[in-house]
Amino acid sequence: MLPDGHSLLRLQSVRVAYDGVEALKGISLHVNEGEIVALVGANGAGKSTTLNAISGILPLRAGEMEFLGQSLVGRRPDEIVALGITQVPEGRQVFSEMTVLDNLRMGAYLRLRRRDRAGVREDLERILAMFPLLDERRRQPAGTLSGGEQQMLAVGRALMARPRLLLLDEPTIGLAPQVAHQILETIARLREQGTTILLVEQNVLASLRVADRGYVLETGRVVLEGPSEELLRNRDVQRAYLGKDYEEV
């Protein structure tokens, strides 16, 4: 389906600045179809900024972004969703006063505008089957759900757009270890179903364990990249990010 030699997503020397500070100083990365790619690094390294640049929320100062061989530069957020990239934002950001069902329907906003009602209804049932906890609470306002349930709702809402590439921003942050584990299992399951995922995580160990490849970001630059096992064995990664994690696990 993809032209030869093309990744699903490719970023080339992407620079992004906001409030006068350059947050991304030339990021290059790619995501192949069917992969889980992890973006790891400390706070302020530019992980979320990268996702927001891809989603069209932050404008590029320089560089090139391509999805399926088409440039993403200068496109509006809704155009990027329509192309097949959906982001699950950090902090879940569910529509708290809307019901679970309404949140999921909103995820399919662009498809509903195209009157794909049958397809949306089908996906709604599929996603509720995938997250039985959400199904039980389908008529409850999203704000009344627990943190883990809200995260599942945010993922479900993003899936309602039928993305080819899912951007996940800190999906386990603030969740109890057991719940975080469930979320990571969900991510692995999504990949089995054919969704490509770009994952941003503060939990370096856990994210590299589910990911195929990873990029290590430091102050707006990629300082390391490679297959996950390689990164996990890397001395610098172990020293900088995993010291604490090893004790916790």
Partner 1 sequence: MDGSGLPQFIATGITQGAIYALVAVGFNLVYSATGIINFAQGEFVMLGGMFAVTCYSMLHLPLALAVVLPIAAVMLVGAGVHYFTIRPLRRAHLLTLIMVTVGVSVALRGLAKVVWGADAYPLPPFSAGESLSLAGANINPQSLWVMACAAATGAALTLFLRCTLQGRAMVACALNRRAAQLVGIRVERMHMWAFALAGGVGAIAGSVLAPIALPSYDVGLALALKGFCAAVLGGIGSNAGALLGGVLVGLLESLGAGYVSSGYKDAFAFFVLLLVLLLRPSGLLNVPTRREER
Q: How far is the CB of 185 from partner 1 (least distance, A)?
A: 24
Type of residue numbered 175: L
Q: Does 95 bind partner 1 (CB under 8 A)?
A: yes
Can residue 114 be called a binding residue for partner 1 (CB under 8 A)? no
The residues facing 10 across adjacent strands are: 30, 66
Give the residue, chosen from 98, 130, 133, 232, that forms a contact with partner 1 under the rule CB under 8 A.
98
Place of tokens 């030339």: 26
Distance from C-alpha of 130 to C-alpha of 138, rounded to nearest angstrom:
13
| Least distance (Å) between residue 75 CB and partner 1 | 12
13 or 96: whose CB is closer to partner 1?
96
Please give the residues from 30 up to 69 whose contact with partner 1 meets the rule CB under 8 A.
Answer: 55, 57
- Contact 45/222 with Cβ under 8 angstroms? no
What is the rounded distance in angstroms from the CA atom of residue 135 to the CA atom of residue 155? 14
| 8 A C-beta contact, residue 189 and residue 157 | no
Contact 8, 165 (CB under 8 A): yes
| Total site size for partner 1, rule CB under 8 A | 27
Q: Does 106 bind partner 1 (CB under 8 A)?
A: yes
Q: Which of 73-81, 125-133, 180-188, 236-244 is the region at the interface with partner 1 (rule: CB under 8 A)? A: 73-81
Of 2, 62, 69, 97, the residue at the interface with partner 1 (CB under 8 A) is: 97
How far apart CA 8 and CA 220 sit, in angstroms, is: 22
Give whichever of 102 and 245 is closer to partner 1, judged by the CB atom.
102
**Smaller CB distance to partner 1: residue 55 or 182?**
55
Question: What sign has the CA pseudo-torsion 106, 107, 112, 118?
Answer: negative
Residue with tokens 């906890």: 133
CB of 163 to partner 1, least distance (A): 11
Give yes or no for residue 89 binding partner 1 (CB under 8 A): yes
Contacting residues for 203 by C-beta, under 8 A, at least 6 apart: 172, 180, 245
113 makes contact with partner 1 (CB under 8 A): yes
Q: Is 66 exposed, middle or buried (0-12, 13-18, 19+ CB in 10 A)?
A: middle
Q: Is 151 among the residues that bind partner 1 (CB under 8 A)?
A: no
Candidate list 61, 63, 109, 133; residue touching partner 1; CB under 8 A: 109
Contact with partner 1 (CB under 8 A): which of 42, 110, 130, 133? 110
* Residue closer to partner 1 (CB basis): 169 or 201: 169
The Cα–Cα gap between 103 and 100 comes to 5
Enumerate binding residues for partner 1 (CB under 8 A). 55, 57, 76-78, 81-82, 86-87, 89, 93-98, 102, 105-107, 109-110, 112-113, 157-158, 161
